Structure 1
Amino acid sequence: MKKSIFFAISLTFILLTQNCTGRSLHATFVPSANTNPTREYATESTVSKGGLFFHKTFVPGPLGFNAEGTSEGRGCSHSILHLFSFGDSSIETAKKSANITKVAYLDYEQLGIVAGYVYHRVCIIVKGS
């Protein structure tokens, strides 16, 4: 019985503090722990903007050089209940999906349902030629 209670408490602590792609209590209080490419999404600011039940945002990323944005590639990662995750949201995957060799710019898309705890998706959108 004591092992079950300890396991439940440990799992709850891990789920609330170790989420690097969605909202994380740890990242709220320790700025260096926020590894999210769209930094505001990992803090309480999404809740204050009305994003507690549903939140979708686009955040511009870094710019590339010497390329036109004629093609668009996407790479997405998904998380369900913080228990199941799948997908690949790397820049290389997004480039391969559209045969892009020169990157013009990146965009990040975040989608969260119930603050990202029920469902969370992060996509990187690469535009280039």
Structure 2
Amino acid sequence: MKKSILFAISLTIILFTQNCTGGSLLTLYAPSTNTNPATDYATPAAYYRGGALFHKATYPGAIGSNAEAVNQGKGCNHAILALFSFGDSSIETAKKSANITKVAFVEYEQLGIFAGFLYHRVCTIVKGS
């Protein structure tokens, strides 16, 4: 019984401090641990602006080479219960999905249910030609 309680406490601490695609308490003390492309959503301060139960937002990312935004590709990563993660939200995957060779710009889209712990999706959207 003591081992089960210790395991549950340890797992809870890990989930609340090591979630790289959602909010992470660790980023309050070590900002360099923030690997979220939309850096605002990696800190608990984002929840004070609303969206603790549901949030969906798009953030601008890097600007690519001088290209027209003719095609749009998307690559997404999904996380369920902060335990299971699948998908690929890399820029390369987004480029391949629309056969883009020259990137005009990159955006990041986030969708989170119950502060991103129940379900969280991060998509990289690449526009170019």
Normalised-by-shorter TM-score class? over 0.9
Query: Match of 2:31?
Result: 31
Q: CA deviation at 1:49?
A: 1.0
Query: Match of 2:12?
Result: 12
Count of paired positions: 129
Q: Could you tell me whether the CA contact under 8 Å between 1:63 and 1:106 is conserved in 2?
A: yes
Matched AA of 1:7: F
CA distance in 1: counterparts of 2:72 and 2:28, whole angstroms: 33
Q: CA deviation at 1:36?
A: 0.8
Q: Give yes or no for the alignment of 1:128 onto 2:124.
A: no
State the identity as a percent. Answer: 67
What is the TM-score of this pair, normalised by structure 2? 0.96
CA distance in 2: counterparts of 1:66 and 1:30, whole angstroms: 36
Q: CA deviation at 1:62?
A: 0.7
Query: Match of 2:65?
Result: 65
Query: Match of 2:94?
Result: 94
CA distance in 2: counterparts of 1:44 and 1:9, whole angstroms: 20
- What secondary structure sits across from 1:35 in the alignment? coil
What is the TM-score of this pair, normalised by structure 1? 0.96
Instruction: List structure 1 runs of 4+ shifted beyond 3 angstroms.
Output: none
CA distance in 1: counterparts of 2:29 and 2:112, whole angstroms: 21
Q: Could you tell me whether the CA contact under 8 Å between 1:28 and 1:42 is conserved in 2?
A: no
Q: Give yes or no for the alignment of 1:104 onto 2:104.
A: yes
CA distance in 2: counterparts of 1:68 and 1:124, whole angstroms: 18
